[in-house]
Amino acid sequence: MPQPCTVVIFGASGDLTYRKLIPALYNIAADGDLPAALSVVGFARREKTDEGFRQELREAVGKFSRQGLNAELWESFEDRIFYHRSEFSDLEGYQRLAERLEELDQDRNTQGNRLFYLSVAPSEFGGILEKLAAVGLNKAKEGSWARVIVEKPFGTDLPSAESLNQVVNDVFREKDTYRIDHYLGKETAQNIMVLRFANSIFEPLWNHRYIDHIQITAAEPLGVEARGPYYESSGALRDMVQNHLLQLLCLVAMEPPTDLTADSVRDEKVKVVRALRAMTPEDVAHDVVRGQYAAGSINGKEVLAYRAEDRVDPQSMTETYVALKVHVDNWRWADVPFYVRVGKRLPKGGTEIAIQFKNAPGVLFNKDTSAVGPNVLVIRIQPDEGISLRIQAKRPGASLRVEPVKMDFHYGTSFGKASPEAYERLLLDAMSGDATLFARRDEVEGAWKFIDLIEQAWHQNPKPPALCPYPAGSWGPPEADALLERDGRAWRRM
Ligand code: BG6
């Protein structure tokens, strides 16, 4: 059970509060895991009363909570929620906040523990943190704590990430800084370590001797929705690969940590980040494909091209799809390619990691080894969370025909209950002081170092590699298929 505290959300009138943060806190309360002494203060610029804010959140919980809305529970829950109106730049607003938090500590017994959630654009971080420090809110009283949660994007390249980190760490210690990567809060992502290190049958095979290659895919049927301006300045590589997909790659590739403390786990992940093979512009041209969706159809519905989306440059060169071949240069992964792809407006939504093992020798069942397919272990992050293993079996009958079959584990059926949302787990962990599932400064900076080389090859190169169009509703540009075909491999059909 986490300790009593007050959660202060900066940017409380933004989408994240309504769609994720408050529904997550509500679901934690519904599961009986929220400390009785917990208050939430929404800090934002719009004029609103506590009552009005609660009413809006009630509707949001009805819409977005995985457990729906229970009127009785909501009544006791909403009593903890308050609204604090202020400009982010107004020091006086922070002084009033400090007083209000003191009062809440007295009235609600929140014990001086504070969790500040920065759900604002990174350009606002500096100003907010500086003012928190000016009124002393970054320092907790003896026996209490003050922590900060920072939302992505955490920088747009290495220099900007370093300076953001500096801004945050000037005010909060690294051990009190929680950088959210919501993929780490997903149940199946957490299960990767359990699968690997709580079973004895996988780990002996988990290396270059037995694994042919690994594929990591995050596919989304959605387009950029209303986020044109953000996405224009980001693109798929920065939006998804730098953070979510490299985090998944680290969990798959890392060595076993000595224990499960936050630093032991993150030490191992950062070693993987450091082992990522740096790409030259030639490597980028050869091993990275960037695509952009053209008009097409998803589930029978016509959809616009990326360039025709709201507030997107009609000549935009921003990528909505990336496929790349990555190498982790260490003993375990020598010569094992990791193929990573991510895209918007693909036919189906789903995130998965597929570990493809080397083929069995073909001497017995087929002289042509390729006819007997490889074993593939698939970790489905979402939807339909689970793990499946493809093995070869004999088809019943007089003749000896070998065919692939699947051994399947589904969270839903095995555990009989829905997995909590990523934000539930992450908020609980931050309230409990467990930073294992949050990105550490060196991980984030190391990931930018790798990504920057690709961005530079694309944008600072007199002859940048082409931006390949793909129709919305297809599995990406043909160049992405060619990336694997030339290695004698193919993307898995999802
Ligand atoms: C976000 C990206 O971090 O992750 C979005 O900014 C993306 O572009 C989203 O759609 C995907 O998250 P999920 O949990 O829906 O897979």
pLDDT in tens, 132-168: 999 999 999 999 999 999 998 899 999 999 999 999 9
- Supply φ then ψ for residue 336, to 5 degrees: -105, 110
Give which of 218, 314, 347 is closest to 306, Cα–Cα. 314
Q: Are strands 376-382 and 288-294 parallel, antiparallel or unpaired?
A: unpaired
Give which of 241, 253, 192 is closest to 437, Cα–Cα. 192
Q: Does the C-beta of 187 come closer than 6 Å to ligand 1?
A: no
Q: How far is C-alpha 277 from the chain's CA centre?
A: 22
Q: Pick the atom of ligand 1 nearest to 239's CA.
A: 6
Tell me, yes or no, whether 492 lies in a domain.
Answer: no
* Domain stops at, among 109, 133, 151: 151
Give residue 89 CA to ligand 1 midpoint distance, Å. Answer: 29
Q: Identify the residue with better confidence: 464 or 243.
A: 243
Sheet with 321-326, edge to edge strand ranges? 401-410, 386-395, 376-382, 350-357, 211-219, 338-343, 321-326, 288-294, 467-471
What pLDDT is stored for residue 247 in this prediction? 97
Tell me, yes or no, whether 179 lies in a domain.
Answer: no
Give residue 269 CA to ligand 1 midpoint distance, Å. Answer: 21
Find the Cα–Cα–Cα–Cα dihedral 268, 269, 275, 280, rounded to 10°.
Answer: -170
Q: Which residues does 148 contact at the CB level (< 8 Å), separation at least 6? A: 115, 116, 117, 118, 129, 138, 168, 171, 172, 176, 177, 178
Report the alpha-carbon distance of residue 157 to residue 453 in Å, rounded.
10
Mean pLDDT of the 406-424 span: 88
Residue with the smallest CA separation from ligand 1 atom 2 is: 239
Q: In the chain, how many domains are there?
A: 2
What pLDDT is stored for residue 401 in this prediction? 82
Residues 136, 223, single domain; the answer is: no
Containing H/E element for 359?
none
- The verdict on whether 182 is a catalytic residue reads no
Residue pair 438/179 in contact by the 8 Å Cβ criterion: yes
Report the alpha-carbon distance of residue 136 to residue 189 in Å, rounded.
37
What pLDDT is stored for residue 17 in this prediction? 96
Mean pLDDT of the 115-136 span: 94
The preferred substitution site among 16, 156, 244, 423 for testing ligand 1, maximizing ligand atoms within 8 Å of CB, is 244
What pLDDT is stored for residue 148 in this prediction? 97
Q: Does the C-beta of 181 come closer than 6 Å to ligand 1?
A: no
What pLDDT is stored for residue 417 in this prediction? 77
Q: Pick the atom of ligand 1 nearest to 422's CA.
A: 14
What pLDDT is stored for residue 398 in this prediction? 86
Containing H/E element for 347?
none
Residue 271, classified by CB atoms within 10 Å of its CB into exposed (0-12), middle (13-18) or buried (19+), is middle
| DSSP 8-state symbol, 308 | G
Checking if the pLDDT of 370 tops 70, the result is no
**DSSP secondary structure string, 22-59?**
HHHHHHHHHTT-S-SSEEEEEEESS---HHHHHHHHHH
Mean pLDDT of the 281-285 span: 95
Mean pLDDT of the 353-362 span: 92
Residues 13, 135, single domain; the answer is: yes
Give residue 124 CA to ligand 1 midpoint distance, Å. Answer: 21
Q: Pick the atom of ligand 1 nearest to 218's CA.
A: 16
What pLDDT is stored for residue 415 in this prediction? 86
Residue 368 banded pLDDT, cuts 50, 70, 90: low
Residues 305, 357, single domain; the answer is: yes
Q: Which pair of tokens denotes residue 155?
A: 């920088």
Residue pair 468/289 in contact by the 8 Å Cβ criterion: yes
Active-site annotation holder among 213, 244, 410, 459: 244
Give which of 153, 156, 233 is closest to 448, Cα–Cα. 156
Residues 321, 451, single domain; the answer is: yes
What pLDDT is stored for residue 42 in this prediction? 98
pLDDT of 2-34, one tens digit each? 889 999 999 999 999 999 999 999 999 999 999
Give residue 30 CA to ligand 1 midpoint distance, Å. Answer: 25
Checking if the pLDDT of 73 tops 70, the result is yes
What pLDDT is stored for residue 411 in this prediction? 85
Residues 190, 146, single domain; the answer is: no
- CA distances to 59, 118, 139, 223 from 64, in Å: 9, 21, 34, 20
Give which of 296, 259, 5, 20 is closest to 141, Cα–Cα. 5
Give which of 331, 347, 303 is closest to 473, Cα–Cα. 347
What CATH number is attached to the domain comprising 80? 3.40.50.720
- Angle between the N-to-C axes of helices 422-432 and 22-30, in degrees from 0 to 180, rounded to the nearest 10: 80
What pLDDT is stored for residue 412 in this prediction? 82
Residues 251, 305, single domain; the answer is: yes
Checking if the pLDDT of 461 tops 90, the result is no
What pLDDT is stored for residue 367 in this prediction? 60
Residues 388, 468, single domain; the answer is: yes
What pLDDT is stored for residue 146 in this prediction? 97
Q: Which pair of tokens denotes residue 270?
A: 């950062």
Q: Pick the atom of ligand 1 nearest to 244's CA.
A: 3
* Phi and psi based region of residue 461 (left: phi greater than 0; alpha: psi -120 to 50; beta: remaining): beta
Tell me, yes or no, whether 156 lies in a domain.
Answer: no
Average pLDDT for the chain: 94
The preferred substitution site among 183, 224, 240 for testing ligand 1, maximizing ligand atoms within 8 Å of CB, is 240
| 263 CB neighbour count, 10 Å cutoff | 14
Residues 376, 442, single domain; the answer is: yes
Give residue 239 CA to ligand 1 midpoint distance, Å. Answer: 8
Q: Pick the atom of ligand 1 nearest to 351's CA.
A: 16
Residues 201, 135, single domain; the answer is: no
Residues 123, 263, single domain; the answer is: no
Domain hosting 41: range is 6-151
Q: Which pair of tokens denotes residue 237?
A: 């590589």
Mean pLDDT of the 39-61 span: 96
- Supply φ then ψ for residue 30, to 5 degrees: -60, -30
Q: Are strands 288-294 and 467-471 parallel, antiparallel or unpaired?
A: parallel
Residue 363 banded pLDDT, cuts 50, 70, 90: confident
Residues 373, 273, single domain; the answer is: yes
Residue 336 banded pLDDT, cuts 50, 70, 90: very high
Q: Pick the atom of ligand 1 nearest to 220's CA.
A: 10
Measured at the alpha carbon of residue 323, what is the angle toward residues 322 and 327, in degrees to the nearest 5? Answer: 125
| DSSP 8-state symbol, 1 | -
Tell me, yes or no, whether 168 lies in a domain.
Answer: no
Mean pLDDT of the 305-320 span: 97
* Domain stops at, among 104, 127, 151: 151
Strand intervals (E) in 130-248: 146-150, 177-179, 211-219
Give which of 472, 157, 482, 185 is closest to 343, Cα–Cα. 472
Coil, helix or strand for 293?
strand
What pLDDT is stored for residue 464 in this prediction? 82
Give residue 403 CA to ligand 1 midpoint distance, Å. Answer: 36
Mean pLDDT of the 228-256 span: 96
Q: Does the C-beta of 239 come closer than 6 Å to ligand 1?
A: yes
What pLDDT is stored for residue 416 in this prediction? 80
Residue 408 banded pLDDT, cuts 50, 70, 90: very high
Residue pair 491/217 in contact by the 8 Å Cβ criterion: yes
| DSSP 8-state symbol, 157 | S
Residue 419 banded pLDDT, cuts 50, 70, 90: confident
Find the range with the poorest average confidence among 139-153, 413-427, 437-451: 413-427
Checking if the pLDDT of 369 tops 70, the result is no
What CATH number is attached to the domain comprising 360? 3.30.360.10
Tell me, yes or no, whether 249 lies in a domain.
Answer: yes
The preferred substitution site among 239, 381, 385 for testing ligand 1, maximizing ligand atoms within 8 Å of CB, is 239
Give residue 117 CA to ligand 1 midpoint distance, Å. Answer: 19
Tell me, yes or no, whether 50 lies in a domain.
Answer: yes
Residues 319, 377, single domain; the answer is: yes
* Domain stops at, among 151, 171, 192: 151
Residue with the smallest CA separation from ligand 1 atom 7 is: 240
